[in-house]
Amino acid sequence: MSHPSVHARTDPGKPALIVAETGERVSFAELDARSNRAAHLFRAKGLQAGDTIALCLENSPAFYDIAWGAQRAGLFFVCISTKLTAAEVDYILKDSGARLVVVSASLAGVTAALGSELARLSVGGPVAGWATWEDAVAALPATPIADERAGIDMLYSSGTTGRPKGVRVALPEDPDIAAGTVLEMLARGLYGLGPDSVYLSPAPLYHAAPLRWSMTVQRLGGTVVMMEHFDPEAALAAIERYHVNASQWVPTHFVRMLRLDPATRARHDLSSLKVAIHAAAPCPIPVKEAMIDWWGPVLYEYYAGSEGNGLTTIASPEWLAHKGSVGKAAYGVLHICGEDGAELPPGEQGLVYFEGGTPFEYHNDPAKTAEARNAQGWTTLGDIGRIDGDGYLYLTDRKSFMIISGGVNIYPQEIENRLITHPRVADVAVIGAPCPEMGERVVAVVQPVDMAEAGAAFATELTAWCRAELSGVKTPRQIDFAAELPRHATGKLYKRLLRDHYWAETGAPVV
């Protein structure tokens, strides 16, 4: 039995949440009362178990109030990126069937232009024509609703390769809000998370990993230290200030922290940190090596998706012996299959499948759901990889990102991993652009540390940098520069936007 409501009874004054920037604390007793009021509000709005609500919020304590309220009211709660346009938010609201939406008042562009017909509440200030969350819950009971039932999140893909799709799993079979979860079991068994955990969450809560792992820490009675916005030095300061012993990151965070000057990095005491989990995007080998050199063998990587169909994991010592691997299966059974659907032997690369994980479907998209399954019922996230003789998985890239040039399959991830290690490259995306002769040509879009360096000389230097380690066919035929890449706050690139630009009629490069 684990749930914030349990800890509210056994250790009511313990902080369930600390806001890193301000030091604001929310105790388990306060979180329990707030989430109860939220559940009462949902019932007052006519929402019953199995209904859907949506949140489009910046990181704030209210995020947890609403999410836990939905969880104990048996609702599906859809967490929407604050970076989306009103039209994109509208699409998710309609597609998900949400009957109520809660939006940060600061997101004026979204709140002013939503077209969906549903109940609307704002957090953090008034919005013309909207009720405020704070007023709506103020007079409601702080005690549980009579018909508590476990709900669950319903998250949408980030839309990096197309329109976002909702990942829907069934409500938990056990209606008890405090019933154990698979993630809770993994958090304890793999990373030793528990009531003594002080867990830094530096990423937006609308993303699967920050939301699910931080809520799991609160289930276990640990304290979440939530950053309102990621800043590399502020993250180091938070580890020192709050004696953080567990955390979760994406490789972009690592790159930005490694780019701090040595004196700044050395200024902060990070000795309390015992577990630094990372996922969401591939981590270049040199970046991870540098992080282990700096923080010690506390890095733990996993590979999984919002779909929850499987998970691999690897600790630092294993990784140092299998560099580039994302680990062995910890949930589900791994398989690699070829284009014909047949399982491939160790060492050969193909689509990565999991057997025996949580069943899921893509909401309102039976074709995509069917495409993610093979004849054996195994499921894939669309990633290409291989398994070595010891059972360790190595990811090559997304199938949808593969470039075919002159009949040769080229995976952008390997090229991106090389370019990002150049000291004057801040970010990079490699895509395939149309080529009359070869079908596609390899194009690198580079964000320099200093945009003033963008130009032919730097492009020539980067071409030589690639050629020193990569074959000629993998070396970019074209290097363009951009002041900023369309990267999701979770670290994922919106490659679809870049690729669409290059495949447009003009074929003009990004500038």
User: Domain check: are 83 and 168 in the same one?
Assistant: yes
Helix/strand/coil for 238:
helix
Q: Are residues 367 and 409 in the same domain?
A: no
Report the DSSP pairing between strands 299-303 and 275-278. Answer: parallel
For every residue of 341-375, DSSP letters joined together read SPBPPTT--EEEEEES----EETT-HHHHHHTB-T
Share of the chain above pLDDT 90, in %: 74
Q: What is the pLDDT of residue 451?
A: 96
pTM > 0.75: yes or no: yes
Cβ atoms 428, 447 nearer than 8 A: yes
Is residue 164, in this structure, part of any structural domain at all?
A: yes
Instruction: Give the pLDDT confidence of 456-474 residue by residue, as tens digits.
Output: 999 999 999 999 988 888 8
- At a CB cut-off of 8 Å and minimum separation 6, what does 311 contact? 186, 302, 303, 304, 329, 330, 331, 332, 357
Pair (484, 357) in one structural domain: no
Whether 311 contacts 190, CB under 8 Å:
no
Domain membership of residue 185 (yes or no) is no
Q: Determine the residue type at 249.
A: W
Region 360-389: mean pLDDT is 92
Same domain, 496 and 385: no
- Domain-embedded: residue 431: yes
- Judge whether 322 lies within some domain: no
* E strand intervals along 311-392: 311-315, 328-331, 333-337, 350-355, 361-362, 379-387
Q: Which pair of structure tokens corresponds to residue 429?
A: 């995306």
Q: Are residues 454 and 388 in the same domain?
A: no
What's the CATH number where 406 sits?
3.30.300.30
Decide the pairing of beta strands 25-27 and 15-19: antiparallel
Q: CATH number of the domain that 96 lies in?
A: 3.40.50.980
Look up tokens 């702080």; give the residue.
142
Same domain, 383 and 498: no
Please compute the mean of the pLDDT values over residues 319-339 and round it to a whole number: 95
90 and 143 belong to one structural domain = yes
Q: Are 102 and 56 in contact (CB under 8 A)?
A: yes
Q: Of 130, 147, 174, which residue sits at a domain end?
A: 174
Q: Average per-residue pLDDT in the chain?
A: 92
Single-letter amino acid code for the residue at 105 = A
Beta bridge partners of 362: 167
CA distance 215 to 211: 6
Residue 107 DSSP code: -
Quote the CA–CA distance of 381 and 372 in Å, as a whole number: 7
**Structural domain includes residue 471:** yes
In a domain, 191, yes or no: no
- Same domain for 145 and 57: yes
- Give the structural domain span for 367: 331-399
Strand partners, 394: 386
What tens digit of pLDDT does each residue of 237-293 get? 999 999 999 999 988 899 899 999 999 999 999 999 999 999 977 788 999 999 999
**Amino acid symbol at 136:** A
Examine the domain organization and report whether 380 and 414 are in the same domain. Answer: no
Q: Which of 399, 416, 447 is the last residue of a domain?
A: 399
Residues 73, 39 contacting (CB under 8 angstroms): yes
State residue 407's pLDDT score: 67
Please choose, from the candidates 76, 74, 50, 55, the residue with its C-alpha nearest in 3D space to the C-alpha of residue 66: 55
Asked whether residue 426 is domain-assigned, the answer is yes
Residues 6+ away with beta carbon under 8 Å from 337: 343, 344, 350, 351, 353, 374, 378, 380
Given a contact cutoff of 8 angstroms between Cβ atoms, the answer to whether 26 and 16 are in contact is yes
- In this predicted model, what pLDDT tens digit does every residue of 88-142 receive, in sequence order? 899 999 999 999 999 999 998 888 888 888 999 999 999 998 999 999 999 999 9
Structure-token pair, residue 408:
């040769």
Neighbours of 174 (CB within 10 A): 12
- pLDDT category of residue 506 using cuts at 50, 70 and 90: very low
The strand pairing partners of 384, in sequence order, are: 351, 397
Q: Is residue 180 part of a domain?
A: no
- 359 and 425 share one domain: no
CATH code for the domain of 349: 2.30.38.10
Report the alpha-carbon distance of residue 306 to residue 166 in Å, rounded: 9
Is the pLDDT confidence value at 159 over 70? no
Report how many domains make up the chain: 3
Q: Does residue 414 sit in the same domain as residue 335?
A: no
Q: DSSP assignment of 21-32, as one string?
A: TT--EEEHHHHH
Boundary of a domain, candidates 365, 382, 399? 399
Same structural domain, 387 and 406: no
